[in-house]
Structure 1
Amino acid sequence: MDLALALVEDDLGRGIARAVAREMVMFLRRPGGQSQFSVALWSKEPATDPVRAAVSAIHADPGARHGIAELAQNARLSPRHLQRRFTAELGMPPASYVERVRVEAAQRALAEGHDPVEAIARRCGFGTAETLRRTFHRHLGIAPSDYRARFRSTTSAAEPQQEQEHS
């Protein structure tokens, strides 16, 4: 599917490839070194390099400090200017974007891994399991532990049991 989307992008352009990916509920492009982190389909594409740099920094490490000062330094703009450009280009302020990317990172970690919720909360930038729980409720209407129970892949759920059998 990734190859097909790349061919669509080459032949028809990025906009059409994004539309196809959105219709198929897929990522347009997944970087090889990261577990399905990419520019999310729910957001607009950054139009300028400074905003693109800020978005790339957020996706590279969702759990890092992504306050406006850090993002502005990465984008080489003043915090106020980045705030305005980011919101104009992506339709939401940087803090909202960071929170959505962190929620998605936590969703993947819960569905694919076995780490405790507290560890996932820290790694994804929420600090505590309680902050993750509140954010999950606000965005998804469900607790992280309930999300894990519903969406954990069958291979992820079987791995701890196999490890115990071999111990």
Structure 2
Amino acid sequence: MTRRVAFLVFDGVTLLDVSGPLEVLHQSGRLGHPYRVLLVSPTGGTVTASNGVTLAATVAPEEVGPLDTLVVAGADHLVSTGPDEGLLAAAGSLAGRAERVASVCSGAFVLAALGLLDGRRATTHWRHARALGLRHPLVRVEPDALHVRDGRYHTSAGISAGIDLALALVEHDHGAGTARGIARELVVFMQRPGGQSQFSTALATPPARSDLLRTLTDAVLADPAADHSLPAMAAAAAVSTRHLTRLFQAELHTTPARWVERVRLDRARQLLLDGYGSTAAARHSGLGSDETLRRVFARHLGTTPTEYRRRFGSTG
């Protein structure tokens, strides 16, 4: 049976949100499991992607019959200004006739605006996860996941994670062997060895402006397991604990303890992916004990160290 998949596209769409998953489905057809793919836009016709490439001859929603899968692609403006009424109407109409509904990157903002993700687990690009949670508090955002399935709804992280999502859909439809063959052909991981947290602290935290704070943060990043208590860091910087706390708030928008904890979490995560056990990861990251490691993983990632390490063995 050939499954019908519609990609909802629109002016300003991120092209890789479309072309990455589409190539996965194309490769599935080469392996004997074809998909019939439709490019759908709110009014039909030509759509211009954010990089200037045009997608010609898209069809309007009313021209589309029953669907196996709807995939809503993302775009920067879905976060900054939100989806417009035409896009919401098109997505709502298509979602109503699809057996499963998926989004890539900020496409989750479209599904969330329609209320389809209320009470459900979902993800989006790590940079937009906080905005998704604040704008749609009924959505249970999982900022570290590359893709999430909750019922008939599938959401994926930023841009290239649409490939991870499409591999998971193919695995669900046609088995792990087919998905593995596609991953080999595209020279990608069957499932990437890490979540979005691999991009978190070092990239998401703005650099310290002052030499004093930059020296301190560099020392923490170099050796997270050392003594980085507030008194120890204040002493190293020759300032009071109160002044150091003010510097962290002013420049990094957090407290010293919270920032150090995030650095240690990142190190523990990497140690787990490198094959260390929970006890060793806790010790070498500076978190200290298995119990502290579990609490920190639960608080920031919503999972356990064991589950985090196991999550990346297959697309499931």
- CA–CA distance in 1 between the matches of 2:310 and 2:215? 35
Q: Could you tell me which residue of structure 1 aligns to residue 293 of structure 2?
A: 132
- CA–CA distance in 1 between the matches of 2:259 and 2:312? 23
- CA–CA distance in 1 between the matches of 2:284 and 2:312? 20
Q: Does 1:119 align with 2:280?
A: yes
Q: Could you tell me which residue of structure 1 aligns to residue 53 of structure 2?
A: none
Determine what percentage of the aligned residue pairs are the same residue.
45
- CA–CA distance in 1 between the matches of 2:276 and 2:213? 32
Note the C-alpha offset of 1:141: 0.5
Q: Could you tell me which residue of structure 1 aligns to residue 60 of structure 2?
A: none
Q: Could you tell me which residue of structure 1 aligns to residue 205 of structure 2?
A: 43
* Letter paired with 2:306: S
TM superposition outliers: structure 1 runs of 4+ over 4 Å: 22-25
Q: 1:24 to 1:83 in 2, by over 3 A?
A: farther
Note the C-alpha offset of 1:39: 6.7
Q: 1:94 to 1:130 in 2, by over 3 A?
A: same
Q: How does 1:77-92 map to 2 (within 5 A)?
A: 77-92=239-254
- Contact in 1 for aligned 2:231/2:241 (Cα 8 Å): yes
Select the structure that is richer in strand: 2
Note the C-alpha offset of 1:83: 1.0
- CA–CA distance in 2 between the matches of 1:105 and 1:134? 15
- CA–CA distance in 2 between the matches of 1:120 and 1:81? 32
Q: How does 1:8-87 map to 2 (within 5 A)?
A: 40-87=202-249
Structure 2 unaligned spans of 5+: 1-126, 128-157, 161-197
Which structure has more RCO (C-alpha within 8 Å, separation ≥ 6)? 1
Task: Work out the number of aligned pairs and report it.
Answer: 121
Q: 1:129 to 1:82 in 2, by over 3 A?
A: same
- CA–CA distance in 2 between the matches of 1:151 and 1:45? 31
Q: 1:107 to 1:86 in 2, by over 3 A?
A: same
Q: Which has the larger radius of gyration?
A: 2
- Contact in 2 for aligned 1:111/1:152 (Cα 8 Å): no
RMSD, matched Cα: 2.6
Q: Could you tell me which residue of structure 1 aligns to residue 65 of structure 2?
A: none
Select the structure that is richer in helix: 1
